[in-house]
Chain A
Amino acid sequence: MAKNLTPKTTILDAKQMARIIRRMAGEIAERHHGNLGSVLLAGIRTRGVPLAEKIAAEIERMEGAKLPVGILDITLYRDDLSTVGPQPQVKGTHLPRSIDDCAVILCDDVLYTGRTVRAALDELIDFGRPRIVQLAVLIDRGHRELPIQADFVGKKVPTSQSEIIEVSFLSTDSTEQVRILERPTAK
């Protein structure tokens, strides 16, 4: 957990997360019925990646189709690089196949301002011309700063701007849950 944050509530435990991800996978499979062969899941680093992998695993279990999972590192496309101070680490983008004429489903843990998704869209377009791009997020917490909305939403969570949504996955954080944390109030 980052410094100076106080946990407020746990909004999802591992079981609830699994149930929600299963439902999202079902919705994706339904929406792309008959065309699953051209669907690619692209997880946005860091926690969009385990989400994409879990959705892919659920779709495989339900439909028997193994969808390719790519990784997008949007760092080089951020709009705040000249203001954030020392450069964030770049861990690289890996797309397992050409995205031309594919249905690309961007996956991220939390949808907030929409700026990450804007950066991901710009990066994706540099790799080719997908047939359609959709967005799947585990948590939509509101407060958009760009006209962006998700096609597949796990859970809508109304938040205040002083709160932080912390999504943990076993593969990245050694626990699986979603919590709301509170930033310290200015004295």
Chain B
Amino acid sequence: MTPETPIRWRRKDLLGIAELSPAEIELILDTAESFSEIGERAIKKVPTLRGKTVLNLFFEASTRTRSSFEIAEKRLSADNINFSTSGSSLEKGETLVDTALNLQAMAPDLVIIRHAHPGVPHMLAKRIKAGVINAGDGAHEHPTQALLDAFTIRRHKGRLAGLKVAILGDIEHSRVVRSNIHLLNKMGAKVTIGGPRTLMPVEMEAMGVEVAYTLEDAIRDADVIMMLRVQLERQGRMAFPSVKEYFQLFGLTTARLAAARDDVIIMHPGPMNRGTEIASEVADGPYSVILEQVTHGVSVRMAILYLLSGVHEETV
């Protein structure tokens, strides 16, 4: 009776953006749009996932992503349990597969996992019946971050197709950039990445992006600028002489913004280092949508939890 049959979500897991179709991405974003209203209610809770159990497995530090997932789970009335690295049985010598099988024995409905090694969520997804959501695996993918970024862009620009998006900073260590490139390419945006050569992997052009080695080249006529944190803790060696020099060359300041479009928006996945990749005047300035990203993160994660929890073995 409806003019077009709406697309239905049929994946058990959300492991990366690379395997999603544009229609699936749009379904998540549209669903998230409907969920954002719940965050504005006096009673911020719906009974949708009552009786479902969600495990939050964070083998790597996380504040934002983990609390965002927790809030999303609670707003949907799911029961959640948190595991973190310290004190987990992995530290006591258990293999990841054994951990997975033990978790499976507790019959969770969904497992959220972050791990320092790429591919761990994929391995887990193959071994357990529960749906698996990748909350960041090494420098590979961070799909929910890319989706909340896309949601934020769509809110401001009304579309993704045809936009020029500049992503700047520590490209080498960023899973956010990989997920974002996949997503923005699929949705028809034009991506330029920029950063110091020492933090720019060689294969990047093959992902279908333009590569720039100065901030000015990267942000020219940009509709959207995404700043990435310099992940000093992941660098075996310093990739640049000093934080001060990095800021001088690649730090985003109000003066430098002039090269971008007048209605540019500035994003950052957090946590940001003021004075390293971004100046406070920009982070707190009128173009910044950094805190909106955090708000939208909850809606997007609610949408993903909702869609994945409808997939049962018989429908896969």
Give chain A's interface residues, CB within 8 Å of chain B.
Answer: 1-2, 73, 76-77, 81-82, 84-87, 89-94, 122-123, 126-128, 166, 168, 173
Verify if B309 is at the interface (C-beta below 8 Å from A): yes
Q: How far is the CA of A91 from the CA of B32 in the complex (A)?
A: 9
Q: How far is the CA of A81 from the CA of B9 in the complex (A)?
A: 14
Verify if B236 is at the interface (C-beta below 8 Å from A): no
Known A77-B48, A81-B48; judge A93-B311 contact (CB<8 A): no
Verify if B158 is at the interface (C-beta below 8 Å from A): no
Q: How far is the CA of A45 from the CA of B15 in the complex (A)?
A: 32
Task: Name the residue of chain B whose CB is nearest to the CB of A166.
Answer: B1
Known A92-B33, A92-B37; judge A86-B47 contact (CB<8 A): no
* Distance to closest chain B CB from A174 (angstroms): 9
* Distance to closest chain B CB from A179 (angstroms): 11
Residues of chain B lying within 8 A (CB to CB) of residue A91 = 34
Residues of chain B lying within 8 A (CB to CB) of residue A94 = 37
**DSSP majority for the A interface?**
loop
Known A92-B33, A93-B37, A94-B37; judge A86-B43 contact (CB<8 A): no
Residues of chain B lying within 8 A (CB to CB) of residue A77 = 46-48
Verify if B35 is at the interface (C-beta below 8 Å from A): yes
Verify if B41 is at the interface (C-beta below 8 Å from A): yes
Docked-complex contact B1 and A126, CB < 8 angstroms: no
Docked-complex contact B311 and A86, CB < 8 angstroms: yes
Docked-complex contact B309 and A87, CB < 8 angstroms: yes
Residues of chain B lying within 8 A (CB to CB) of residue A126 = 41, 43, 45-46
Verify if B69 is at the interface (C-beta below 8 Å from A): no
Verify if B155 is at the interface (C-beta below 8 Å from A): no
Verify if B6 is at the interface (C-beta below 8 Å from A): yes
* Distance to closest chain A CB from B189 (angstroms): 25
Docked-complex contact B34 and A86, CB < 8 angstroms: no
Docked-complex contact B48 and A86, CB < 8 angstroms: no
Q: How far is the CA of A81 from the CA of B109 in the complex (A)?
A: 14
Residues of chain B lying within 8 A (CB to CB) of residue A173 = 1
Residues of chain B lying within 8 A (CB to CB) of residue A2 = 1
Verify if B58 is at the interface (C-beta below 8 Å from A): no
Residues of chain A lying within 8 A (CB to CB) of residue B314 = 85
Total chain B interface residues with beta-carbon distance under 8 A: 31
Please name 17 further chain A to chain B contacts, defined as beta carbons within 8 Å, in addition to the given A92-B33, A122-B47, A128-B42, sorted by A numbering. A1-B1, A76-B38, A76-B46, A76-B48, A76-B306, A85-B312, A85-B314, A86-B9, A86-B10, A86-B311, A87-B8, A87-B9, A87-B306, A90-B35, A90-B303, A126-B41, A126-B46
Task: Name the residue of chain B whose CB is nearest to the CB of A89.
Answer: B6
Q: How far is the CA of A166 from the CA of B307 in the complex (A)?
A: 28
Task: Name the residue of chain A whose CB is nearest to the CB of B52.
Answer: A82
* Distance to closest chain B CB from A84 (angstroms): 7
Q: How many A-B residue pairs have CB under 8 A?
A: 62
Verify if B95 is at the interface (C-beta below 8 Å from A): no
Verify if B39 is at the interface (C-beta below 8 Å from A): no
Give chain B's interface residues, CB within 8 Å of chain A.
Answer: 1, 6, 8-10, 27, 30-31, 33-35, 37-38, 41-43, 45-48, 51, 76, 303, 306-307, 309-312, 314-315
Kindly identify which residue among A1, A82, A92, A166 contacts B34, using a CB–CB cutoff of 8 Å. Answer: A92
Docked-complex contact B34 and A85, CB < 8 angstroms: no
Task: Name the residue of chain B whose CB is nearest to the CB of A100.
Answer: B42
Residues of chain A lying within 8 A (CB to CB) of residue B9 = 86-87
Q: How far is the CA of A173 from the CA of B3 in the complex (A)?
A: 8
What are the nearest 10 A-B pairs in CB distance? A87-B310, A86-B8, A92-B34, A90-B34, A76-B46, A76-B48, A126-B43, A85-B315, A89-B6, A86-B310
Q: How far is the CA of A73 from the CA of B31 in the complex (A)?
A: 12
* Distance to closest chain A CB from B247 (angstroms): 42
Docked-complex contact B37 and A86, CB < 8 angstroms: no
Residues of chain A lying within 8 A (CB to CB) of residue B309 = 87
* Distance to closest chain B CB from A31 (angstroms): 28
* Distance to closest chain A CB from B3 (angstroms): 9
* Distance to closest chain A CB from B143 (angstroms): 18
Residues of chain A lying within 8 A (CB to CB) of residue B312 = 82, 85
**Among A77, A84, A87, A166, which residue has the most Cβ atoms of chain B within 10 A?**
A87
Residues of chain A lying within 8 A (CB to CB) of residue B47 = 76-77, 122
Docked-complex contact A90 and B310, CB < 8 angstroms: no
* Distance to closest chain A CB from B240 (angstroms): 46
**Among A84, A86, A123, which residue has the most Cβ atoms of chain B within 10 A?**
A86
Q: How far is the CA of A174 from the CA of B292 in the complex (A)?
A: 39
